[in-house]
Structure 1
Amino acid sequence: MTGRSFGPRLTAGGVEFRLWAPNAQQVEVVLDGATHPMLRDDKGWHAAEVAGPGVGARYRFRIDGELEVPDPGSLFQPDDISGPSEVIDHAAYAWRATDWRGRPWADTVLLETHVGTFTPEGSYRAMIDKLDHLVATGITALELMPLADFPGQRNWGYDGVLWYAPDSAYGRPEDLKALIDEAHLRGLMVFLDVVYNHFGPEGNYLGGYAPDFFSDKHTPWGNAINYRVGEVRAFAIENALHWLRDYRFDGLRLDAVHAIPDQGEIPMLHELSREAGKLAAETGRHIHLVLENDDNIAAVLDPVTDPSRGQYRAQWNDDYHHAWHVALTGERQGYYSDYADAPLRHLARALGSGFAYQGEPSAHRGGTPRGEPSGELPPLGFVNFLQNHDQIGNRALGDRLESLAKPAAIEAALAITLLAPTVPMLFMGEEWGSKAPFPFFCDFHGELAEAVRDGRRKEFAGAYEKYGDDVPDPLDHDTFDSAVLDWRERDGGAGAQRLALVSRLLQVRRNAIAPRLAGARFDTAAIAEGGLLTAHWRLADGATLALVANLSDQERDGGTPAASGTILWGGDWTRIIPPWAVSWRLEQP
């Protein structure tokens, strides 16, 4: 794939505008009050080069003399999704971290964040002031929830409709670039969450002039996107390259790819990975692509090959989270029911071979088999976490694990998650044990707002009986405000103690474990009656990383203690292991 099909192109004398509108007979560019006709080719592309305007020009497209729409390839929407699109010159930004080429995947420790609630200011620029905190904590990668332009000022980001335009609620494109540049200067990678399975419900005009964008299949969020159509496929793949090239993101996390049914004869995901790999090879950069995939397809994962050639570094491992959540909270509703029989057994399987479900029937999914064998994959193929935006925000109150489980149990879970040879991820504020909720919020209006509010009520009908009027209204500004992190919690009391714990764990990971991860393999993991967990992994230098943990409220007999090795974390217990105690040991061959 070469060149860029969508969005404006700066020329020597002005701007070339292009729109794929196969169902439109006539398209005009509306620019500074004047209209300019566009020529149509036999593939449905309309194009016009307009002399005079340049960077900063604002424009719309007029379809068949009636409907005025923003450019679906808009690079910026200063006045939200229905306003005019602005011409941006990405080549004009003066990058400072010119020598940055990224970091190997084995170095990755992720912090997932929402720009609007990460700081009181809720902007790209304000995030820069927190980057030193990430470095001091031991985090190596900042992950941003989706930025594609969404309706209104408040949104998780999964309702984006203009995929190429970072939302103006957080700042301008140069502000986002400054954040990424400053992160790179500090040795931090930056990842972006992208959504290629649907468009948001408000502000998407594609169906009117390019209905071939959509198929007759459906996702939980609307019509499926038809990637069998070449122009549609190019729209998504060029978008991924746009974020990686023009903004210099180090990686992308693709949302819910199991909900992309029409990928084409050569799967769109395969081609996207291959094109990103070409960009990495051309630039000498490390570029990392990660999936969310409820189907647990091991065959699409390859954390080793660099650059990528059609596969993906890793997958968000929901199995790992779900097993921990059931074990720590006792909750068994919804998808947690698949783990309720023996959560620690599921946890041991995730630690010992990646997925907990590797082809077994899922009762929550009507008994259909889920997943593929994953034990032959390297542990780096899995991103493990105790919390993320979904697992907090899809709860009735958006409450965090800190409000549901005892501190000793959470700290044991952190000691396992942050030192295991999988890739760890924290959700913003988790590093100091924040209790700030992260409820679902949005900024729709009219009938759509009422439909969202009503849908939320129906989803948590039982919860409303339990919590009364405490379930937050997603349209209320106070719901958004409640999610804003209070950074003062970090600097004293329990927050400072938790942050010190996480920092020490990540220091152990950085010094003793990460340098040995590039060739690490799964070995064994088991859970004994009473909650005694043991696990082993083979590391790149031939050493064995060994874990012993008592995941219970009672002392446990750990049997004969290890005869050799270096203790990386925890105690050198002789048989009796305290409650919620975790020990990591490095055993040389």
Structure 2
Amino acid sequence: MVETKRRHGAWPDANGHTHFSLWAPDAGSVAIKLQDTQHDMTAAGDGWFTASLPVAAGTDYHYLIDGDLLVPDPASRWQANDVHGPSRVADAHQYSWRSNDWQGRPWAQTVLYELHVGTLGGYQAVQEKLPELAELGVTAIELMPLGEFPGGRNWGYDGVLPFAPDSSYGTPDQLRALIDRAHELGLMVFIDVVYNHFGPDGNYLGQYASDFFREDVHTPWGPAIDFRRRQVRDYFIDNALMWVQDYRVDGLRFDAVHAIGERDFLLELAERLHASIPTSRHLHLVLENEHNDAELLQQGFVAQWNDDGHNVLHHLLTGEHEGYYADFAGDATHKLARCLREGFIYQGETTRHGTPRGSSSGHLPPSAFVLFLQNHDQVGNRAVGERLRSLADDDALKSATALLLLSPMIPLLFMGEEWGSEQPFQFFTSHNDELGEAVRKGRQNEFKDFSKFSGQAIPAPNDVSTFETSTPDHHSREAADGQAWLAFYRQLLSLRHQHIVPRLQGSQALESQVLGEAAVAASWQLGDGQVLHIALNLGSEPVEAAAPQSAQTLFSYRAAGNHLPAHSVRVLLEAAQ
């Protein structure tokens, strides 16, 4: 464990003082403005301004740039009055943790459950739902981004103050209480963090720290963040360290790192995070990366979200083939077989855009890939936010779910799918009227090339009804249909924890083959030498799948012996030779 010094932000000490530090290289002067007083900061070189004041946690403050521009702290730990309001000094050490012996769980035990805190009612409301998730067999919750965003309704990817857990969900200590309770129940907590861009409203950095960005590289969100600069790197590394040390999270999921041009920043980030904790503590760093950079998964990052796996399964379940599904619709069965055997489907092949994508991944363990059938992107980034159950046959969906939960890849569930929810999850915001209208038009334009949505009105993100529509339908969870789906997920997760998890460490893919249209078989050697066989038929015609005589049936849905009718699955476990 290496001592980690963090510089950005406001730090209260034990003697009733708070130490303020702001990087503002374009500013001639900076002052701290409290409610009734104003205090000049000292220029400390390299663009830094510092001050120490006799104020304690709970004090509200702004920074005053050049006597004119009033801004919140870009590293504010608590933003009680939204993105333009004053920052509030917060003491990370005031909370009394109950789960002090918690060291996390090994990666092999991970079953992720992605959720949106706002649609569930805030930090305290999520905490109340933790026991039912633990009982289901989930071992980790993954919270969509929490950094303060404008208004009270947002996915979190429009955040502009990444150090401040959004105040519309509750206080920082209420978030700690949620994490504390999760640990008491044996649940890990992951936070989704966004280091590739800031949202469109409330980010003032460009007005006093233009060097934070680079004008020569642009992204879909504007000028790229300049990770070549030490102060910029440390800003985001400080943020990651905050989650790991001050909130004791067990893992971070890094959003869209393909939009970060400086790959060495990612390596430094992983190295410093792992060095900041005792070797006895588990910390899991997970990527979203369209580049399919397999080497990163051997350099401090434990896994990547496998969009390839999702996309080919979605096509096979729904027949959808437009947009990014076009890259997976051709020869889809062979693509699924490759995914089960090697992880990534695209390992350098050319996509529909005419550019190569990905790198060789067959040498990686299956646990290096997070597999899912639904998540916030794949549901919410649809035009009207339909869930998979509204698009696919129930039997086919259950068969694919068995693959998801019993394969050696790490499974991720999206809130509500475990009870077969058909409630949409849509893209929602609470921007000012002008920005809200621009987002609505952009959203409408985004789907103009999809024939399915031609001429169809897309839900306006800024309408309160769009948010309300996206709130999980817990009443349907208690209905007979919801309970039947829950029992199905509970059975599969029980089998996973009993038979797959204890053998997952050291597992490797053996082979996969195409059995017929939309039907595949795959085998993995598990860590103890036993062999896992999964035969899946998502097609409309029956297929045959030979089974080793010594194998025992772990799970079967609609399959009988070697015969797999349409929309069926069979999972076998063969003893070590």
Shorter-normalised TM range: over 0.9
Code of the aligned partner of 2:535: V
**Whole-angstrom distance in 2 between the partners of 1:568 and 1:262:** 45
Asked if 1:98 corresponds to 2:94, the answer is no
Deviates further, 490-499 or 17-26: 490-499
**Whole-angstrom distance in 1 between the partners of 2:187 and 2:561:** 40
Asked if 1:561 corresponds to 2:554, the answer is no
Alpha-carbon contact 2:371-2:410 (below 8 Å) kept: yes
Instruction: Give 1:272's aligned residue.
Output: 269
Change (3 A) 1:575 1:546: closer
1:308-336, Cα deviation, whole Å (9 max, x unpaired): xx420000000000001111111111110
Code of the aligned partner of 2:408: P
**Whole-angstrom distance in 1 between the partners of 2:4 and 2:537:** 55
1:452-494, Cα deviation, whole Å (9 max, x unpaired): 1111121123569846554211110000000001111112222
Q: What does 1:465-484 correspond to in 2, within 5 Å? A: 466=453, 468=455, 470-484=457-471
1:3 deviation in Å?
Answer: 1.2
Alpha-carbon contact 1:224-1:262 (below 8 Å) kept: no
**Whole-angstrom distance in 1 between the partners of 2:329 and 2:130:** 39
**Whole-angstrom distance in 1 between the partners of 2:454 and 2:208:** 45
1:529 deviation in Å?
Answer: 2.4
Instruction: Give 1:228's aligned residue.
Output: 228
Alpha-carbon contact 2:548-2:574 (below 8 Å) kept: no
Percent identity over paired residues = 49
Alpha-carbon contact 1:256-1:294 (below 8 Å) kept: yes
Code of the aligned partner of 2:311: H
Q: 1:5 aligns with which of 1, 4, 7?
A: 7
Q: 2:118 aligns with which of 113, 116, 119?
A: 116
Instruction: Give 1:48's aligned residue.
Output: 51
Q: 1:506 aligns with which of 493, 499, 504?
A: 493
Instruction: Give 1:429's aligned residue.
Output: 416
Change (3 A) 1:584 1:205: same
Deviates further, 162-171 or 8-17: 8-17
1:577 deviation in Å?
Answer: 2.2
Deviates further, 463-472 or 34-43: 463-472
Q: What does 1:384-533 correspond to in 2, within 5 Å? A: 384-461=371-448, 466=453, 468=455, 470-533=457-520
RMSD over aligned Cα atoms: 1.5
Q: What does 1:306-385 correspond to in 2, within 5 Å? A: 310-363=299-352, 366-385=353-372
**Whole-angstrom distance in 1 between the partners of 2:563 and 2:388:** 28
Change (3 A) 1:140 1:179: same
Q: 1:297 aligns with which of 266, 279, 293?
A: 293
**Whole-angstrom distance in 1 between the partners of 2:201 and 2:431:** 8
Alignment: residue pair count = 571
Asked if 1:580 corresponds to 2:570, the answer is no
1:32 deviation in Å?
Answer: 2.2
Code of the aligned partner of 1:221: W
Instruction: Give 1:252's aligned residue.
Output: 252
1:126 deviation in Å?
Answer: 0.5
Asked if 1:68 corresponds to 2:70, the answer is yes
Code of the aligned partner of 1:177: R
**Whole-angstrom distance in 1 between the partners of 2:76 and 2:553:** 54
Alpha-carbon contact 2:400-2:536 (below 8 Å) kept: no
Instruction: Give 1:158's aligned residue.
Output: 157
**Whole-angstrom distance in 1 between the partners of 2:473 and 2:493:** 23
Unaligned runs of 5+ in 1: 303-309
1:547 deviation in Å?
Answer: 1.1
Alpha-carbon contact 1:566-1:587 (below 8 Å) kept: yes
Deviates further, 537-546 or 461-470: 461-470
Alpha-carbon contact 1:322-1:339 (below 8 Å) kept: yes
Instruction: Give 1:210's aligned residue.
Output: 209
TM-score normalised by the chain length of structure 2: 0.97
1:170-214, Cα deviation, whole Å (9 max, x unpaired): 000011001000000000000000000011111000011111100
**Whole-angstrom distance in 2 between the partners of 1:317 and 1:573:** 31
Alpha-carbon contact 2:370-2:410 (below 8 Å) kept: yes
Code of the aligned partner of 1:67: L
Q: What does 1:159-178 correspond to in 2, within 5 Å? A: 159-178=158-177
Alpha-carbon contact 1:151-1:203 (below 8 Å) kept: yes
1:550 deviation in Å?
Answer: 2.2
1:233-272, Cα deviation, whole Å (9 max, x unpaired): 0001110010011001100000000001145xxx110011
Alpha-carbon contact 2:332-2:518 (below 8 Å) kept: no
**Whole-angstrom distance in 2 between the partners of 1:64 and 1:448:** 28
Alpha-carbon contact 2:4-2:276 (below 8 Å) kept: no
Secondary structure in structure 2 of the residue aligned to 1:280: coil
Code of the aligned partner of 2:223: N
Q: 1:81 aligns with which of 66, 80, 83?
A: 83
